[in-house]
Amino acid sequence: MRVVVLGAGIVGAACARELARRGLAVTVLDRGGPAAATTAHGEGNVLVSDKGPGPELELARLSRRLWPEILAEHEAPPADAVEWDAKGGIVVATTDAGARELARFADSQRAAGITADTLDAAALAEAEPHVTRDVALAVHYPEDAQVQPSGAAAFLLGGALRAGAELRTGCEVLGAVTSGGRLTAVRTSAGTIEADAFVNATGPWSGEVAARLGAPVDVRPRRGEVLVTTPQPPLVFHKVYDADYVGAVGSGAEELQASAVVESTRAGTILLGSSRRRVGFDDRLRPEVLSVIARKALRLFPCLAGVPVMRAYGGFRPYVPDHLPVIGPDPRLPGLWHAGGHEGAGIGLSPGTALLLADLLTGRAPQIDPAPFRVDRPAVLFEGDDQ
């Protein structure tokens, strides 16, 4: 069986790897280079802490289990470039209202089997000596981890190539060739490519690509920005984030949302995320947005006030109005499959997504319920009016 994966971001890379290892003849194509788009413009949090009970949490837990397994398959140094760090996350509420909400949220997660330990002031001070003392509630999630996203994507793609997949860059999908109502080939800027199945993994462009293929899905860009400081001595030891983050993730609001996510990287820089705005593909960095991110981060770590920001970057999260990824066959166009719409969690969720997609595509029983991610749900097929 021949499969063409459209898009060489982390989701396409993970799918290609999983399919190639099952013996399928896989081609990955991308209009740019591998892992150069959204995957190289975000952060690498692999989180369970920000997800309430439900299908996304199940996908996150599956992925969290798969990451170490996948990394263990190859020796360092390739796996080293992934910078896997199971450092755990700490969620901090600085207001009483926030604390009540966080307590309720953590309870519901515990009921779903997530480890969420409440930290008292002393335990928090020991875990994060530089965090604000102005804390109403802090919860520790030991399962949270992080990767370096483009390193992780390169690692997954490398696995696909070793398993026999072929990579074609500089190849843009332009349209469909159908036969008897079935997708049999894609027209690209580098010729027509035939296959038995096509996986749309084009991230925030999934909507546009699906429309070109004649089966539109409602995936839209949601802009996010991140600040990067100059290298610092160790100051931040976990991923530390504001309890508001959970609200911002779950919101679909058009206006600016920002919540602090503070983490250090192996290079010593501190990443401060992130904003959420719906502005189409407008890639201008707005200083006032950066200012809001700085303000929120300083609320968590007042001691960072004198630390210089040397860089800022931004990307477009692939956003679906009901905040769930789209994974599975497209019932309107046999031969077309989707793996996208992961919004701000596509790095972390890529292994589980690939496993689920490959199970469905090769007819194996999936490990989690695929129904919530199906393509023919109202949020995905509804054609937005505000684009």
Ligand X SMILES: Cc1cc2nc3c(=O)[nH]c(=O)nc-3n(C[C@H](O)[C@H](O)[C@H](O)COP(=O)(O)OP(=O)(O)OC[C@H]3O[C@@H](n4cnc5c(N)ncnc54)[C@H](O)[C@@H]3O)c2cc1C
Q: Is the CB of 29 or the CB of 360 nearer to ligand X?
A: 29
163 makes contact with other proteins (CB under 8 A):
no
Please say whether the dihedral angle defined by the alpha carbons of residues 154, 156, 160 and 166, taken in this order, is positive or negative.
negative
311 makes contact with other proteins (CB under 8 A):
yes
340 interface partner picked from other proteins, ligand X, none, CB below 5 to 8 A per type: ligand X
Q: Are 234 and 185 in contact (CB under 8 A)?
A: no
- Which residue stretch of 10-18, 244-252, 363-371, 378-386 sits at the interface with ligand X (rule: CB under 6 A)? 10-18
- CB-count exposure of residue 166 (10 Å: 0-12, 13-18, 19+): middle
46 makes contact with other proteins (CB under 8 A):
no
Q: Are 10 and 35 in contact (CB under 8 A)?
A: yes
Q: Is the CB of 96 or the CB of 282 nearer to other proteins?
A: 282
How many CB atoms sit inside 10 A of residue 216's CB?
17
> Which of 123, 142, 166 has its CA nearest to residue 4?
166
Give the integer Cα–Cα distance in Å for 173 and 270. 37
Give the integer Cα–Cα distance in Å for 267 and 233. 10
Task: Annotate 150-190 with DSSP letters as a single string.
Answer: HHHHHHHHHHHHHTT-EEE-S--EEEEEEETTEEEEEEETT
191 makes contact with other proteins (CB under 8 A):
no
Binding flags for other proteins, 66-105, as an x/- string (CB under 8 A): ---------------x------------------------
Give the integer Cα–Cα distance in Å for 380 and 320. 7
- Which residue stretch of 20-28, 31-39, 82-90, 101-109 sits at the interface with ligand X (rule: CB under 6 A)? 31-39
- By CB under 6 A, the count of residues binding ligand X is 43
11 interface partner picked from ligand X, other proteins, none, CB below 5 to 8 A per type: ligand X
- Which residue stretch of 53-61, 137-145, 223-231, 371-379 sits at the interface with other proteins (rule: CB under 8 A)? 223-231
347 makes contact with other proteins (CB under 8 A):
no
Footprint on residues 209-238 left by ligand X (CB under 6 A): 209, 224, 226
Closest contact distance (angstroms) between CB of 100 and ligand X is 26
310 interface partner picked from other proteins, ligand X, none, CB below 5 to 8 A per type: other proteins
Binding flags for ligand X, 277-316, as an x/- string (CB under 6 A): -------------------------------------xx-
Q: Are 6 and 308 in contact (CB under 8 A)?
A: no
* Strands ordered across the beta sheet of 173-179: 173-179, 182-188, 191-194
155 makes contact with other proteins (CB under 8 A):
yes
The one-letter code for the residue type at 60 is: A
Q: In 3-state terms, what secondary structure has residue 22?
A: coil
Q: Are 59 and 368 in contact (CB under 8 A)?
A: yes
Backbone torsion region of residue 61, taken as left when φ is above 0, otherwise alpha when ψ lies between -120 and 50, otherwise beta: alpha
Q: In 3-state terms, what secondary structure has residue 249?
A: helix
Q: Which two tokens stand for residue 300?
A: 């968590």
Q: Are 260 and 242 in contact (CB under 8 A)?
A: yes
286 makes contact with other proteins (CB under 8 A):
yes
41 makes contact with other proteins (CB under 8 A):
yes
- Which residue stretch of 48-56, 74-82, 279-287, 340-348 sits at the interface with ligand X (rule: CB under 6 A)? 340-348
Closest contact distance (angstroms) between CB of 282 and other proteins is 7
Binding site for ligand X (CB under 6 A): 6-12, 29-32, 36-39, 41-45, 172-173, 201-205, 209, 224, 226, 273-274, 314-315, 317-318, 340, 342, 344-348
Binding site for other proteins (CB under 8 A): 13, 30-37, 40-41, 81, 148-151, 153-155, 157-158, 160-161, 167, 169-170, 172, 204-205, 221, 227, 229-231, 267, 269, 272, 281-287, 290-291, 294-295, 297-298, 304-313, 315-316
